[in-house]
A and B are shown apart, each in its own frame.
Chain A
Amino acid sequence: MRISSDDAKHVAKLAELDFSEDEIKKITLQLDKILEHVARISAVDTEGVKNTSHVMDIKNVFRDDTPADTLSQEDALKNAPLEQDDGFRVPRID
């Protein structure tokens, strides 16, 4: 087993996902199978090979320090699930 239920629970915590015990069991098996498959890349010799984070050779893309694109407060709050005092209300931080 590449990944255990405890590993899966830890990953779920990092990703802020909630699973029942059954769901954890199921997803652990699925993840294990998938990770087993993708881990085959360990067989590839990558000695001295640089990584590619960006496929195109673009660099130095900037914007000028001039104001643009700001929304009205109304638009900013338009989709708020819960609005209070012109802000986004969230429950008690634990």
Chain B
Amino acid sequence: MDLNYLTAHDIKDKIKKKEISCREVTESVFSRIEEVDVSINAYIRLEKDSALKSADRIDKKISKGEDTCDFTGIPVGIKDNICTRDITTTCASKILNNYIPIYDAGVIKRLKSQDYILTGKLNMDEFAMGSSNENSFFGPVSNPWDTERVPGGSSGGPAASVAAGEAICSLGSDTGGSIRQPASLCGVVGFKPTYGLVSRYGLVAFASSLDQIGPFARDMEDCAALLNVICGHDSHDSTSLDAEVPDFKSFLKDEIKGMRIGVPSQLMLEGIDPEVRGAVNSALKMAEDMGAKVEEISIPNLEYALNVYYIIAPSEASSNLSRFDGVRYGFRDSDADTLRNMYKKTRARGFGDEVKRRIMIGTYCLSAGYYDAYYEKALKVRTLIIQDFNDAFSKYDVLISPTSPTTAFKKGEKTDDPLSMYMSDICTIPVNLAGLPAVSIPAGLSNDGLPIGLQVMGNVLREDNVIRAAYALEKAIGFKGIPKI
């Protein structure tokens, strides 16, 4: 197998045994990028020179017998809404296309402390708003399984790069499903941790109470290892949990006997593709065969999750994106003669349509006369959804559903109808509203040869259950697909 398709744990193993070097792995990744990225467009910016330099330095370090961590010398891609000091961070937007952060995000500091190798900055939907990665200033990302189709979004680049062997792992962000849904469409593992486990310092904010950074990997083992690196308290983030972070790898137990699995009926009905439902049901049967108890459960308020999300997220976003005004950084419409004109024209020209749409929705929902009926009301319904989940988790250890109602759809299929695009997130959104941990793992391929994803959700800070269930199912499903691109 090509080195660029190895998992991080395999690479670490082989390097230890001196079978391969970091340099070789890194070169393999970059030659793959050179081969396919012209069709996939997963990368906005590559850091080849510094990556190879780092690889050499790390190889020397290893040869001297210095200690290494799980991600020492591993080529990892970073979604372009995570600030990397001195390396442009664009959020796939024209308004930040020349922005060079003067600080590193909390997660980057943690990866650097392990001496990881940065492959480059990954493409995404502009400001993390989208479900198809068609909203990027740098052009859409293609699904490696079928380049006519979308990889999902907003972390299309992170998902596609790992699927196509253009990175060993990557980091994305998830606000309403932006890690899990693209993971599902691209046939890789994508994990959204409990809200507050991973620092948001340096993550360009979309919806502050929903955003979380999380890993993309080819298997649960790598995923757990990457969680170990990025989780942990950050004093720069007031919403960061001060809880002790477990060793997530310790939850990789290949057994789920007696585990109680709930299947929310609201997420298995309308609009779910029959093949998707079929794959999930197969997996659930495997779970039963392994001794887990599987039951359908009704979570009534889930019906409103999409509505609540599409009020809260745009509202917070409309405020978070106010800072993009051409004054201190980023793109500025320099022809404008007055301040107000500069603001309006900079933002009109600098933001894409979806971003503007969400800013408009959010501004409306927060505005005088509408705040109570929209924003305030949404916050209350959110409480009900959280209560519903609490009730569900008092009876079940995990909840399982499809990650996405469909497999990868064709580019352009939903771009004219924002609402239909929003529906892609119907299974993933509820999780963010409650701050729950959830993962998407590949559950098989459709008849068209497109990946189907299965989502495992756990209660707050119950990554143990999520990882355990996902790992056991991953082993049982035995998905080994690699796109033929």
Contact = CB atoms under 8 A, between A and B. Distances in A.
A/B contact in complex, CB under 8 angstroms? yes
A11 B315 CA distance: 12
Interface in A47-94: 49-56, 58, 61, 63, 71, 75-76, 78-82, 88, 90-94
Contact of B380 (A51, A71, A81): A51
Contact of B308 (A8, A14, A41, A58): A41
Contacts of A56: 195-196, 239, 241, 435, 460
Interface residues of B, number: 69
A91 B339 contact: yes
B360 A31 contact: yes
Interface stretch (B130-138, B327-335, B400-408): B327-335
A5 interface: no
Contacts of A22: none
B6 interface: no
Interface of B: 98-100, 102, 195-196, 209, 235, 238-239, 241-242, 301, 304, 307-308, 310-311, 318, 322, 325-332, 334, 336-345, 347-348, 351, 356-357, 359-361, 363-364, 367, 373-374, 376-384, 386, 418-419, 422, 433-435, 460
A52 B348 contact: no
Interface of B is mostly: helix
Given A14-B363, A53-B379, A91 B342 contact: yes
Contacts of B311: 38, 41
A51 B379 contact: yes
B382 A51 contact: yes
A52 B309 CA distance: 13
A61 B338 contact: no
A87 B334 CA distance: 17
A50 B380 contact: yes
Contacts of B102: 71, 75-76, 78-79
B363 A44 contact: no
B326 A81 contact: yes
A35 B311 CA distance: 9
A90 B242 CA distance: 41
B386 A55 contact: yes
Given A78-B102, A94-B338, 4 more contacts: A17-B348, A27-B356, A30-B357, A51-B383
